[in-house]
């Protein structure tokens, strides 16, 4: 039976101020209206006005159109210049993330300075300008050959196999409300070591909590499915656990933006789903027990945002609060 869990929000949704009241009619007056503050957002945008030249999409400039569903063309790969910031993005009032929708399948982090939604304008002014710190924040993580923060892979021959051999990749927007956003990525015929499987991943984020929750469904039990956290040198490694959950994290100078601020990343997995925990060449990894459904999650923290932990002590306190919240949701 599929298991679901809900996380309590760290901050309640608020309402915009009501518009000033206009003149009343003789019989009745219109009630003031309010609009909800948008605190979550998910998106995928596709480049327009050009044509494919091999594995590159060539056009006179960078014009993108948002979509609610998408099937990746067979020639799409890394740096094809077809998807805005190379895949789907999602955010809330504290943090943002993106997923490379190609063979790499890594998850990257957009740190934010503001509670406002910013992703709809990211990558519009020079395509990859988000690698530089701006007034809203920027792309903070070096993913490299790792899974980044909480992406999937399969362990084979002492390394993580990414999504190099896939029959078809699809993306679908599932939920888009002011306080929750979710999307699904489906991989058909993902072949690793001669074993083919269909894998579906549902990512969701809620307002007031930097965590992304992931529900995974596979067409058959896999004995080598892994998720992990990129391993950088000279940063603190942290482990915490509760009765039912294991959480690993790193904290320190692993931020690419040149602002000298610490970046914290954490990954949490149900203990009952863990077959093994170990270090790979580029990641700290959890291997899942063979099954067809899994749940796990991750979050990032950057002190450039006023509502996020400002130091390691506060980061670890948030880790503990998250574990308590996960336990209370069972």
Task: State residue 316's pLDDT score.
Answer: 98
Cβ-count burial of 170 within 10 angstroms (0-12 exposed, 13-18 middle, 19+ buried)? middle
CB atoms within 10 A of CB 23: 6
d(CA 228, CA 286): 6
Res 3: pLDDT: 41
| DSSP category for residue 36 | B
Q: Hunting for tokens 């796990």 — which residue is that?
A: 296
Q: What is the mean pLDDT of each run of 10 residues along the chain (330 residues)?
A: 38 34 47 86 97 96 95 97 96 98 97 97 78 88 96 97 97 98 98 98 98 98 98 96 98 91 98 98 98 98 97 98 95
Contact 187, 163 (CB under 8 A): yes
Joined tokens for residue 79? 């740096």
Report pTM.
Answer: 0.89
CATH 3.10.450 fits 40-328, yes or no: no
Q: How far apart are CA 112 and CA 11, in angstroms?
A: 17
Task: State the pLDDT at residue 5.
Answer: 38
* DSSP bridge pairs for 218: 199
pLDDT at 125: 72
Residue-level pLDDT at 123: 87
Are 218 and 199 in contact by the 8 Å Cβ rule? The answer is yes
CA distance 62 to 146: 28
Phi then psi for residue 273, to 5 deg, are: -95, -10
Q: Where are the domains of the chain?
A: 40-328
- The pLDDT, as a whole number, for residue 11 is 36
pLDDT for 259: 85
So what's the pLDDT on residue 192? 98
Measured at the CA of 124, the angle between CA 120 and CA 130, to 5 degrees, comes to 85
């Amino acid at each position: 039976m599929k298991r679901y869990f809900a996380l309590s929000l760290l901050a309640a949704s608020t309402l915009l101020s009501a518009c000033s009241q206009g003149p009343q009619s003789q019989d009745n007056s219109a009630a003031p209206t309010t609009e909800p503050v948008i605190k979550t957002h998910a998106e995928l945008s596709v480049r327009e006005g050009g044509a494919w030249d091999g594995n590159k999409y060539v056009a006179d400039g960078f014009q993108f159109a948002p979509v609610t569903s998408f099937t990746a063309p067979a020639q799409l790969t890394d740096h094809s210049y077809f998807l805005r910031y190379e895949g789907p993005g999602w955010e809330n009032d504290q943090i943002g993330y993106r997923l490379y929708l190609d063979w790499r399948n890594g998850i990257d982090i957009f740190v934010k300075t503001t509670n406002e939604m910013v992703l709809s304008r990211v990558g519009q002014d020079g395509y990859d300008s988000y690698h530089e710190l701006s007034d809203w924040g920027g792309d903070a993580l070096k993913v490299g050959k790792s899974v980044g923060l909480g992406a999937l892979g399969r362990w084979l021959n002492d390394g993580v196999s990414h999504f190099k051999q896939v029959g078809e990749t699809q993306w679908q927007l599932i939920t888009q409300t002011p306080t929750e956003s979710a999307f699904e990525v489906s991989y058909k015929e993902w072949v690793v070591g001669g074993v083919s499987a269909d894998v579906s991943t549902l990512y969701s984020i809620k307002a007031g909590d930097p965590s992304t929750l992931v529900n995974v469904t596979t067409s058959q039990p896999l004995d080598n499915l892994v998720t992990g956290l990129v391993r950088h040198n000279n940063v603190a490694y942290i482990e915490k656990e509760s009765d039912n959950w294991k959480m690993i994290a790193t904290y320190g100078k692993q931020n690419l933006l040149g602002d000298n601020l610490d970046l914290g990343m954490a990954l949490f997995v149900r203990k009952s789903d863990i077959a093994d925990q170990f270090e790979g060449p580029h990641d700290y990894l959890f291997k899942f027990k063979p099954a067809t459904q899994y749940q796990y999650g991750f979050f990032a923290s950057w002190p450039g945002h006023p509502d996020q932990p400002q130091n390691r002590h506060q980061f670890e306190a948030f880790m503990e609060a998250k574990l308590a919240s996960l336990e209370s949701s069972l």
